[in-house]
Each structure stands twice: as structure tokens, then as C-alpha cells.
Amino acid sequence: MPRGKHRRPRSNQLTRRVVAAGTGGAALTLPLLGATQASAAQPSQSAPAAAQSVPQAAQPAKSLTYTVAKGDSLYRIADKYDVSGGWKQLYKDNRATVGDDPKLIHPGLKLKVKTAKADTAKKTATKSSAPAKPAAKPAGGVAEATQASAKTYADNLDGWIREALDIMAQKGIPGSYDGIYRNIMRESSGNPQAINNWDSNAAAGTPSKGLLQTIDPTFQAYHVDGTSWDPFDPVANITAACNYAAARYGSIDNVNGPY
């Protein structure tokens, strides 16, 4: 039988292999392994990014006690403190304290709030509530979300308008800072607790209420989802009134008198 050529063992092919890992055109070449080391090879740690891709455990929610202030709503509190589950979860956690109606919360009420950023929330809550002169006012047209949508709003007229504008932008409700501010000053002079007890609406049993003086049937018909059902709540009152004005006049910007 003629002598055949001996073939090299297949395991030696490992000495010729090159392992590369990378993204795009860049690659990292790993050390070559001899055949005798193949069985003891450990998983590659070639890409530093692999270690960084391991998800970090979410921080547990912290609990704090919040004292309800005038003009507050469960929606505003949940939004301010970034409560997981929103105002519905906040209500569920405090139902024994609030009662059966989530839209009726009174100043001085103590609520348990669960937030993953309690330190930031506490700092926000201690900001001065003194009225501030409105900053630069955006031009007319559809409301645009502003930097204030990072969940920090001053508890004054400027903050209420800006929060309302962010909600309106999400819902596609037109209106500008100028249009809202102008109508508020005519209707209530900026007082969220204003109520008209003398006109024809009041005589009919539906007095005009809040910053933009809406009557209850109008407020309920044009209420914006996610806001308080309390017509005296500043943000709920503004958004409902602007929703109504958009349906009847095209925008709150087009309202220049009683509406």
C-alpha cells in the first residue's frame, strides 16, 4: 500500500483562527489559542462596552409626606414628584386619607408620595410661591411644550400657564401664553378662587369659576384628561377653558371679551 501523506490534526486549525469583535469597520483582535488550550478557553471579555451594557438595578422609590397646598390636585402632585403610575396610583396609595372623590383634596391634607427622586422633589416643593413677573411670552399659534415640561413649575400664575401650555401641546389644543394671560387678567385678575355670584349664569345656578371663569357644565364638557376635576384648580381651569375656546372660536387667542 503506497504511503499516504499525513494530514495535520484538525485541532491545529485553532492556531490559525483570529477572533475579531467590533462595530462598523473597527475590530479588536484577540490572542490566538493553541490546540492544547482550546478546552480551557474562557468566554471573551474583548469589548469593554459589554460590561457597561449590563442594566443597572432601578433605585427603589422613596416615600415622603406632602402637605396639600391651595390649588393642588393629585395630577399636579404626581406630575411634580414623577410618581410611578401617575395620579391614579397616588390616589390609590392615599384613598383612606382623600376619601371616595379624588378631585376633592383640601389644603393641609397629608399625602404619602412615592418617588425615585425625593431629594429633587423636596427642593422643588420649597421654592417660593410669590407671584413672579411673567417671562418672555411665546408667539401665538398652537401651544408648544417648553423647558418647564421637565416637571418643575412655579406655584403661581406664570407656572400654572406654563404647565397648562405643556398639557395643551400634548393634546393638540391651540393657544399662546399671551392669549391665556390676557383673558385671565380680564376674567379673574389672576385669582384661581374667583367666582361670579351676580350675573345670569349665577342666577341660573351655575356661577362662573376660576381663572378663566368657566361654568360647571362647560368645565365638565371640555375637561382635559389627566387634569383635576376641580374647576378651581388653576391648570384644570385653564386647559378646559382653552379647549372650549378652541372648539368655539378656534383658539383662546381669538377671545377678546366675554365668551
165-215 pLDDT tens trace: 999 999 999 999 999 999 999 999 999 999 999 988 889 999 999 999 999
Spans in the chain with pLDDT lower than 50: 1-55, 118, 120-133, 135-149
C-alpha 112/C-alpha 90 separation (Å) is 8
Q: Can you give the pLDDT at residue 30? A: 38
Domain ranges of the chain: 62-125, 147-254
Q: Can you give the pLDDT at residue 60? A: 64
In the chain, count of helices (H) and strands (E)?
Answer: 10, 6
Give which of 254, 240, 235 is closest to 141, Cα–Cα: 254
Q: What CATH number does the domain located at 147-254 have?
A: 1.10.530
Q: Can you give the pLDDT at residue 75? A: 83
CB-based contacts of 173, cutoff 8 Å, min separation 6: 143, 224, 239, 242, 243, 246
Neighbours of 28 (CB within 10 A): 12
| pTM assigned to the model | 0.47
Q: Which CATH architecture has domain 62-125?
A: Roll (3.10)
CA 197 to chain centre: 36
